[in-house]
Structure 1
Amino acid sequence: MSFPQKVKSTLWAIVNSMTSSMDKFVKNPEKDFTRDRKLGFLQLVRFFLCMESGCISHELLKYFYFLPDEVPTASAFIQQRAKLRPDTFLHILR
């Protein structure tokens, strides 16, 4: 396994482990990310890490492989993003 592959697998392992203690990373643990959505906690964090410099709508289309039934709206992304605490990504980078 090459170094970039090790880094990526370690990054995904950290993100996956965050789902078990999600209440540390959301603003309202009793309510946020409790319903099944197209952009759940895991999908949202992974999407953030995969985003490039395009507009949100285009980035969502690319991330969900241009499947019209699977792609959430930009508004849905913004609403889900608002549920995350600001220090979520600091945890990932440490």
Structure 2
Amino acid sequence: MSHESFKAAFSNAINHVASNISLYVINLDKDLTSNRKIGAGNLISFMVSCVYSSTKLELLDVFGLVPNAPFASAFNQQRAKLKSDALEAVFHQFNSLVLSMEETASLPFPCC
């Protein structure tokens, strides 16, 4: 299985959770529903991809030095709105996608 397949599965898992974000926020009607600099998909992706640097440096790695890049405080405010169940759901979705891809790849090819 290629790294593109894993990347696509991860992206699909994040999109699946982000499209159902009302299940994973504190306030159902208003949290992470509007289009902000750090939307639900970007927030989850950012949280998973952080390595070991400070939030400020990680944000610089992702957004660069663009004038409208979000501050660390904006990230912290958005993160506070998200339940930990969201990350768990991403990993469950990702695992099920990868397992189904492995099962499909292990099927024998039909003979001509």
TM (norm. structure 1) is 0.88
Structure-1 residue corresponding to 2:91: 93
User: Deviation at 1:86?
Assistant: 1.3
Partner Cα distance (1:36, 1:93) in 2: 24
User: Deviation at 1:11?
Assistant: 0.9
Cα deviation per residue 1:60-88 (whole Å; 9 max; x = unaligned)?
01011x13323201100000000000111
% same residue: 35
Query: Structure 2 matches for 1:21-60, cutoff 5 A?
Result: 21-60=20-59
Aligned length: 92
Which structure has the greater CA radius of gyration?
A: 2
Higher mean C-alpha deviation, range 79-88 or range 44-53? 44-53
CA RMSD of aligned residues (A): 1.4
Which structure carries more helix by proportion? 2
1:29 counterpart SS class: coil
Partner Cα distance (1:59, 1:37) in 2: 18
Cα deviation per residue 1:41-66 (whole Å; 9 max; x = unaligned)?
111011112211000000001011x1
Partner Cα distance (1:53, 1:22) in 2: 26
